[in-house]
């Protein structure tokens, strides 16, 4: 799944052996390797034994919890939660006491019939859960949420004697009059019904308007991670794969789509206005990958060289925008078949645009659902940025068809296996079909840098993170799972070699296809690919089982030609008194096995493996007269680099003299390291500022992307009163040459167009005189009915709205509501947040409470963009606090959206007053899956406060001197 709707360019504005044993025992227990459960009959036998011995023993009270008779195992530093007896809805004790399902149930297949009514919103269904058991039992437990079961029967002459529901865990307990035995196949037939909601989860209602303004309805699904249970009773855990046979009955005027093609279409007896579509049975897959859509859409299609039918599906008035997606899907699928050495395993692949969709896209096997802006592209209207976004999201979701769908993580603690890999693979996939886009070059600024930023917090988390409660799953759909996961795969590829990594991936997929795997399985396959010459698992465990990353420090050995290379954990809060807290113990003690590559001014390249054994550092003889060292060649390593001050100064001089001696990724990395080290108090603030002077000569997208993020941070941190004016002057001084060089004419390569947009938008934000005048003139052209380049529309609309009238805002709002081009609607939605009129901004904030004015999927985008507007920061924070319960209820306790809203509104705060407000407000508030994001936001505010206290005056003084 792609968790975001758009990746914004950031312009100037905007342990011990015994403890290890306990840890792994609990992890194995939680992954259901050895589960603390007993069958009903076993429990009865134990009960008889205990009560027959009650006079001889005083420990019978321990049998109060008959479903957990194994010894409890607790992770170090973890408190055992207070035990509460689960109570079913009828008041009885719910017999199953675990958030996970029993391990003795093995689903084989589902036979599902659904009849959704898009007028009444009623859904009626019948399902057969066909399964086996691995031990004798007279009960099973499965999932169901907000579903009314109206009938239940079971085969093999068994009778259902009890069915209990425990909504807190979405579980149903079904007990039979006789035991079920291993070796036999059983089926439970359930009739059920429920109402379609607009929650963007489960089987839900979406709407759109046709060209005549008529509202059209569709029913669609989104099941990841735990919402299949909202659509039909099921065993809703990823390791419980099964085949799915689906039949959907619906109005004859509509179409239905499923993971597989239609096998048979038939009439419905006595209902001439309805039709029945039976689909081919699917391959074994996890329940969260099931998808079905009932709609009136149109489609276009083509076949790949391996005879797979690729279809793009969209509303009739938008199907003309699907050509680019179809072309990319064909080429990327063919490329992936070559890359993985395994043909796409299903007969068809559908890509469907959904008007209301919480994520960017979802990789349902054979029926990928997309937000419209992630799939549809209109030449001449959509920008280069939109085009690249569509291509990368398609590549991401198609990568999942192998890595995630064909082979699926066993449990959500290894979510990164899916998302980290797909986030890495999307750049490989697009680079293959669009080589002139330099996607691999963009990887560092788009993926690695944001991960380094978040992972420098104490409140980060390991890539492979224990998930004890399914309600917490969405909290790890974050930068660590996606960006850091992909960054360490890229680092490993560079260390092992591209061909070795590819061979290892093929071994992994072939061994585990149609099944499940854990992280260790991937490392074993990659080690096999090296002929066991590398301990891949030993190395990569240091990166996946502990959070954070190292700071690699180069130190000159006195009176010698040798340099010492050492590692330490990099933290933004490392030198802030009173902020450091006790962090989770790790057997690696926050040290890593680090492949370190670097070069010197002589041009000589070096490669060394720095391990925790090198506690005193690793010595390297570099010879005489080394002027500078550039660590982490091309930014392949996931770490930061520190040098002596003299080396920093030499690097700065080299940048100013001839920055092209370093690759764009190297330049971006040096900029980022300098600013980050300064923020952490590890480097004099003058170093990044002096380094920034070279930017007047920079003409590459990647370094400018990173530099402008840091300039935006300075503006956000110091942007009050006269400081804001100084920061803007500083930005103008750096931007004016590249601004003049690029101009406003829409020309050049893909990357030049991306850079032009970034620089022009930043120049307008910084109030560069020519830029603001040109933007104003272009906005007037729009008002006069003239067309301007699609590359310029976003920044011109924003500039026009910022300095415009209420009438300008309202006319843009009208266009936002009527355009049928999703990319245009997205840019207009953001442009509306640019106004400086606080009354208008307050009105727009209230629109987010009305789904008819701002779709649920767009609420966080509007809130965060208004918050990034200096006129809207306080308004947005006040508004969200005032209506917190409505937002929380709307998005649900398991939604990653809540966390994104919290971070988006608060992480730029930089005063003690702000910190106290945030901590006070959330002290008594439920935040659900956003609790990790809240902890990170609070920590980031403390970092900001410390940075201002220590450096604000000094940095402002430096800028004043620079401007003289």
Catalytic residues: 397
Pairing of strands 550-556, 562-569: antiparallel
Task: State whether the Cα torsion 669-673-676-679 is positive or negative.
Answer: negative
Distance of alpha carbon 479 from alpha carbon 896, whole angstroms: 12
Distance CA 488, CA 532 (A): 20
How many whole angstroms separate alpha carbon 423 and alpha carbon 415? 12
- Report in angstroms the alpha-carbon separations of 153 from 130, 156, 174, 192: 12, 10, 11, 12
* Cα three-residue angle 58-59-61, rounded to 5 degrees: 110
Q: Is 212 exposed, middle or buried (0-12, 13-18, 19+ CB in 10 A)?
A: exposed
Q: What is the dihedral of CA 140, 144, 149, 154, to 10 degrees?
A: -20
Cβ proximity of 66 and 38 under 8 Å: yes
What are the residue ranges of helices labelled H in 3-39?
Answer: 17-30
The residues, ordered by sequence, that sit 6+ positions from 596 with a Cβ below 8 Å of its Cβ are 552, 565, 607, 608, 609, 610, 631, 632, 637
Give the C-alpha separation, 666 to 894, whole Å.
39
Which DSSP category does 81 fall into?
P
| DSSP secondary structure code for residue 197 in this structure | B
Cα pseudo-dihedral 865, 870, 871, 875, rounded to 10 = 60
Q: By C-alpha distance, which of 547, 260, 281, 522 is closest to 409?
A: 522
The C-alpha angle 829, 833, 836, rounded to 5 degrees, equals 150
Closest by CA position to 549, among listed 632, 620, 613, 478? 632
Q: Which of 826, 775, 827, 824 lies closest to 803 in space, CA to CA? A: 775
- Cα–Cα distance, 857 to 372 (Å, whole number): 11
Query: Where do we find the tokens 């979405």?
Result: 170
Rounded to 5 degrees, what angle do the CA atoms 917, 923, 929 make? 110
Q: For residue 728, give the H/E element and its range.
A: helix 722-742
Q: Which residues contact 64 (CB under 8 A, 6 or more apart)?
A: none
Contact between 259 and 346 under an 8 Å Cβ cutoff? The reply is yes
Distance (Å, rounded) from C-alpha 74 to C-alpha 96?
20
């Amino acid at each position: 799944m792609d968790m975001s709707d758009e990746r914004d360019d950031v312009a100037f504005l905007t342990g011990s052996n015994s403890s290890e044993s306990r840890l792994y025992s609990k992890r194995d227990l939680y992954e259901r390797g050895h589960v603390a459960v007993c069958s009903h009959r076993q429990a009865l036998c134990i009960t008889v034994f205990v009560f027959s011995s009650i006079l001889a023993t005083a420990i019978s009270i321990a049998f109060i919890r008959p479903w957990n008779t194994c010894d409890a195992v607790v992770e170090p530093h973890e408190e055992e939660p207070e035990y509460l007896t689960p109570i079913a809805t009828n008041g009885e004790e719910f017999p199953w006491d675990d958030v996970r399902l029993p391990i003795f149930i093995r689903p084989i297949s589902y036979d599902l019939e659904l009849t959704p009514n898009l007028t009444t919103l009623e859904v009626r269904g019948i399902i057969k859960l066909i399964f086996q058991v691995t031990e004798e039992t007279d009960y099973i437990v499965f999932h169901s949420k907000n579903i009314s079961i109206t009938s239940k029967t079971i085969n093999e002459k068994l009778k259902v004697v009890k069915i209990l529901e425990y909504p807190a865990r979405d579980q149903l307990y079904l007990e039979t009059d006789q035991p079920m035995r291993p070796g036999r196949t059983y089926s439970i037939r359930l009739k059920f019904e429920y109402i379609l909601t607009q929650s963007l989860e489960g089987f839900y209602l979406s709407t759109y308007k046709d060209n005549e303004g008529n509202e059209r309805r569709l029913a669609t699904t989104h099941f990841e991670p735990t919402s299949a249970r909202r659509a039909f009773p099921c065993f809703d855990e990823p390791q419980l794969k099964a085949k799915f046979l689906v039949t959907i009955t619906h109005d004859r005027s509509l179409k239905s789509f499923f993971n597989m093609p239609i096998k048979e279409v038939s009439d419905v007896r006595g209902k001439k206005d309805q039709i029945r579509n039976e689909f081919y049975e699917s391959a074994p897959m996890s329940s969260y990958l099931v998808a079905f859509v009932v709609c009136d859409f149109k489609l276009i299609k083509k076949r790949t060289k391996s005879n797979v039918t690729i279809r793009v599906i969209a509303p009739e008035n938008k199907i003309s925008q699907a050509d680019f997606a179809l072309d990319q899907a064909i080429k990327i699928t063919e490329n992936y078949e070559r890359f993985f050495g395994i043909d796409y395993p299903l007969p068809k692949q559908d890509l469907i645009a959904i008007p209301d969709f919480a994520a960017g896209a979802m990789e349902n096997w054979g029926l990928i659902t997309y937000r419209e802006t992630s799939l549809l592209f209109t030449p001449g209207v959509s920008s280069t940025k939109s085009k690249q976004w569509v291509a990368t999201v398609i590549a991401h979701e198609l990568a999942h068809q192998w890595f995630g769908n064909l082979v699926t993580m066993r449990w959500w603690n290894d979510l990164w296996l899916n998302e980290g890999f797909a986030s890495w693979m999307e750049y490989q996939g697009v680079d293959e079909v669009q080589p002139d886009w330099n996607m691999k070059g963009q990887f560092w600024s788009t993926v690695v840098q944001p991960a380094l930023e978040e992972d420098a917090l104490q409140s980060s988390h390991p890539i492979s993170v224990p998930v004890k409660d399914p309600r917490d799953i969405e909290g790890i759909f974050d930068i660590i799972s996606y960006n850091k996961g992909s960054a360490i795969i890229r680092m490993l590829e560079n260390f092992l070699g591209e061909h070795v990594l590819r061979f290892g991936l093929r071994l992994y997929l072939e061994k585990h296809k149609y099944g499940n795997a854990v992280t260790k399985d991937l490392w074993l396959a990659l080690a096999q690919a090296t002929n066991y010459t590398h301990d891949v698992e030993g190395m990569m465990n240091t990166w996946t089982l502990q959070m954070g990353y190292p700071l690699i420090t180069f130190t000159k050995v006195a009176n010698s030609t040798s340099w010492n290379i050492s590692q330490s954990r990099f933290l933004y809060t490392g030198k802030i008194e009173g902020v450091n807290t006790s962090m989770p113990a790790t057997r690696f003690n926050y040290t890593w096995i680090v492949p370190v590559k670097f070069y010197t001014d002589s041009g000589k390249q070096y490669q060394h493996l720095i391990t925790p054994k090198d506690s005193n550092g690793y010595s390297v003889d570099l010879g005489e007269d080394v002027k500078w060292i550039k660590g982490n060649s091309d930014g392949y390593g996931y770490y930061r680099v520190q040098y002596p001050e003299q080396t920093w100064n030499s690097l700065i001089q080299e940048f100013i003299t001839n920055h092209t001696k370093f690759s764009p990724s190297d330049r971006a990395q040096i900029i980022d390291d300098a600013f980050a080290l300064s923020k952490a108090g590890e480097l004099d603030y003058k170093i990044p500022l002096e380094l920034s002077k070279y930017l007047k000569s920079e003409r590459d997208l990647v370094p400018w992307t990173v530099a402008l993020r840091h300039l935006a941070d300075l503006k956000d941190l110091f942007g009050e009163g006269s400081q804001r004016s100084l920061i803007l002057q500083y930005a103008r001084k750096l931007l004016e040459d590249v601004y003049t060089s690029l101009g406003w004419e829409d020309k050049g390569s893909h990357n030049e167009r991306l850079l032009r947009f970034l620089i022009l938008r930043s120049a307008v934000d910084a109030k560069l005189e020519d830029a603001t005048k040109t933007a104003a003139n272009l906005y007037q052209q729009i008002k006069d009915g003239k067309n301007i380049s699609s590359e310029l529309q976003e920044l011109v609309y924003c500039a026009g709205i910022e300095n415009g009238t209420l009438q300008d805002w309202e006319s843009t709002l009208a266009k936002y509501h009527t355009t049928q081009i999703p990319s245009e609607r997205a840019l207009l939605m953001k442009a509306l947040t640019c106004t400086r009129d606080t009354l208008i901004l307050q009105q727009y904030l209230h629109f987010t409470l009305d789904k008819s004015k701002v779709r649920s999927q767009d609420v966080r985008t509007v809130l965060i963009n208004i918050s990034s507007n200096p006129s809207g920061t306080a308004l947005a924070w006040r508004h969200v606090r005032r209506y917190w319960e409505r937002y929380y209820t709307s998005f649900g306790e398991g939604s990653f959206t809540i966390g994104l809203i919290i971070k988006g509104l608060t992480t730029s705060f930089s005063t003690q007053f702000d910190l106290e407000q945030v901590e006070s407000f959330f002290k008594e508030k439920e935040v659900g899956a956003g609790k990790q994001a809240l902890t990170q936001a609070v920590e980031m505010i403390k970092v900001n406060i410390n940075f201002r206290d220590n450096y604000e005056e000094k940095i402002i003084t430096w800028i004043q001197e620079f401007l003289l």
